[in-house]
Amino acid sequence: MSEGARYGFIGLGVMGEPICRNMLTKSGAPFTVHDLNPDPVARLAAKGARAAVSIAEVAAAADTIFLSLPGGPQVEAVIAGPGGLLERGRAGQTVVDTSTAPVGLTRDLAAKLAEKGIRFADAPVARTRQAAEDGTLSIMVGADEALFAEIAPMLRHAASDVTLCGAVGCGQVVKILNNMVLFETVVALSEALALGEAAGVERRHLFETLSKGSADSFALRNHGLKAMIPDLFPTGAFPTDYALKDVSYALDLARETGFEVPGAALAEARMKAAQAAGHGKAYFPVLARVIGRKDGA
């Protein structure tokens, strides 16, 4: 962290607010924050952040600007849209995007920022909302080594694991594949749950026993035992709509690289069935409710 550096944070949603709060309170550095929702802005202002009413105000106040946004369209709008960071930023600034966004878009925006003398790193985050609260996320970074060395200390206030994955875009590649594997695992757990129950095995007994064998996984212990077994899929967690966006990025990456990924395509189909059944806002393991049911209800 550079002496006297000033920081900005745009996007204070489910993950962004706790990420920013951990950075703010642990570093003691000055932060200027902005979100379309005034409530998290007010909460962070109460902890010492300066509230901003626009992207331009953040750009004027900060040397390094972190983003935490829902997806590619929002990242593109904040960076390249009217009044965005390309228009309002200045040479010497750094933009660090903790959102999950398409690899091609990430590299295109990085190139446009570089033309203006603004450095860019993609730093998408993994693990749960609770991990964001606790500051124990995993952050996968795409950047050159010099920039990584500069931003890693601040990222470590929000994460227990901060990993340089390669050049710009590589953080997004690793995050997208992380989610692809997670989604496919949840589909497999859903199928096991449906088959086990149909064959007479009590659902919790099934998953608790699987967790003692080679089928054990983070997905089983968290998404399986904590959501699928009690059949609890709250809103405000990682919803089906967002999961569909992320799996679409994996499928886009497969097309761009010339690979077929039928497991990811199946996960997308299960999520679309859950969405069609009215579960778009529910925590995405709700796809378990549509596994093996002919009516998709």
pLDDT along the chain (297 residues), means of 10: 83 97 98 98 98 98 98 97 97 98 97 98 94 98 98 98 98 98 98 96 98 97 96 93 96 96 98 97 96 55
Measured distance CA(32)–CA(19) in Å, rounded: 14
User: Are the C-beta atoms of 67 and 19 separated by less than 8 Å?
Assistant: no
C-alpha dihedral (64, 70, 76, 82), degrees to nearest 10? -80
pLDDT of amino acid 296? 45
pLDDT of amino acid 236? 81
Measured distance CA(103)–CA(253) in Å, rounded: 7
pLDDT of amino acid 246? 96
Measured distance CA(29)–CA(18) in Å, rounded: 16
Active site residue 175: yes
pLDDT of amino acid 4? 77
pLDDT of amino acid 57? 98
Catalytic residue among 47, 112, 175, 294: 175
User: Are the C-beta atoms of 240 and 281 separated by less than 8 Å?
Assistant: yes
Per-residue b or e along 222-254, where b marks 16 or more CB atoms closer than 10 Å to that residue's CB:
bbbbebbbeeebeeebbbbbbbbbbbbbbbbbb
Measured distance CA(115)–CA(57) in Å, rounded: 22
